[in-house]
Amino acid sequence: MKKLCYREKLALDLMDNGICRSSTVVYLAGTNDKKPSKYARLRISLYGRTKHPENKWGLEIKPFLAEKKLSEKQSKKAKK
């Protein structure tokens, strides 16, 4: 079974909160500084499988996800 990366887990958290797949792609891309509703962001930060910070959406999500991907690669490399 393939291990899910942070971005895929966050997409699942968004869809679990009633957000459709097309909107999920827009939110994860940071397009036009779009963000999920305050309620969805709060639920993901408190109860989501990713514990994503509530304030890292919109234009701030691209650098945040790049940092997460880099840390995942480093941790995987350290395990080897």
Q: What would the pLDDT profile of 6-25 be if each residue is shown by its tens digit?
A: 999 999 999 999 999 999 99
Task: Answer whether residue 61 shows pLDDT above 90.
Answer: yes
Average pLDDT, stretch 57-73? 94
Confidence of residue 1 (pLDDT cuts 50, 70, 90): low
Instruction: Collect contacts of 48-53 with beta carbons under 8 A, ≥24 apart.
Output: 48/10, 48/13, 48/16, 49/9, 49/12, 49/13, 50/6, 50/9, 50/10, 50/13, 52/10, 52/13
CA dihedral of residues 6, 8, 9, 14 (deg, nearest 10): 120
With vertex at residue 33, the alpha carbon angle to CA 7 and CA 21, rounded to the nearest 5 degrees, is 45
**pLDDT over 70 percentage in the chain:** 98
